Amino acid sequence: MPKPAKTLRIYVLNGPNLNLLGLREPDIYGRTTLADIGKMAAKRAKTHGLSTVFHQSNHEGELVEWIQEARTKAAAVIINAGAYTHTSVALHDALRTLICPVVEVHLSNTFAREKFRHKSHISPVATGVIVGFGAEGYLLAVDAVASLLKGAAP
């Protein structure tokens, strides 16, 4: 009997304070919780025949470890590194080791906010960036990953 094809996994990684989505500055980040985003992303991934592994941490090292794990376990990574986006060389270095597509997501339009949010250590090592579409950005990222994995996108 041939083995059934394995579903390709997308690692969806979330950085500090994103566990407070829904409560934290809803005028900026919206009222959708991270748990809701996790469910929505899984559902969207399923429509593409993909699955998601969804994580959040307030600790930089834990995010680094999940990125390292993604090297062998994930077909793509979607990452909202929260404030570490603007500070973390460790996340930059970890992401550079990946050969799979990496999509950076931000709920808010970081470029329309304070100057310190304009710099991203993630963007130079991302395949693409989605900012300012709220929770919908995660779904756009799943669609982008699906296209990239099918070889349809640039």
Residues 33-52 as x/- pattern, contact with ligand DQA by CB under 6 A: --------------------
Locate 41 and state its tokens. Answer: 């992303």
Which residue, 10, 13, 15, 137, is CA-closest to 88? Answer: 15
Q: Provide, rounded to whole angstroms, the least separation between the CB of residue 124 and ligand DQA.
A: 16
Q: Which residues touch 51 (CB under 8 Å, ≥6 apart)?
A: 7, 8, 9, 10, 42, 45
Q: Do residues 119 and 84 make contact, with C-beta atoms less than 8 angstroms apart? A: no
Q: Is 84 a catalytic residue?
A: no
Binding status of residue 19 toward ligand DQA by CB under 6 A: no
Interface with ligand DQA, residue 117, by CB under 6 A: yes
**57 binding ligand DQA? (CB under 6 A):** no
CA 5 from chain centre, in angstroms, equals 25
Residue among 17 and 127 whose Cβ is closer to ligand DQA: 17
By CB under 6 A, tell whether 110 contacts ligand DQA: yes
Residue numbers at the binding site for ligand DQA (CB under 6 A): 17, 80, 82-83, 85, 106-108, 110, 117
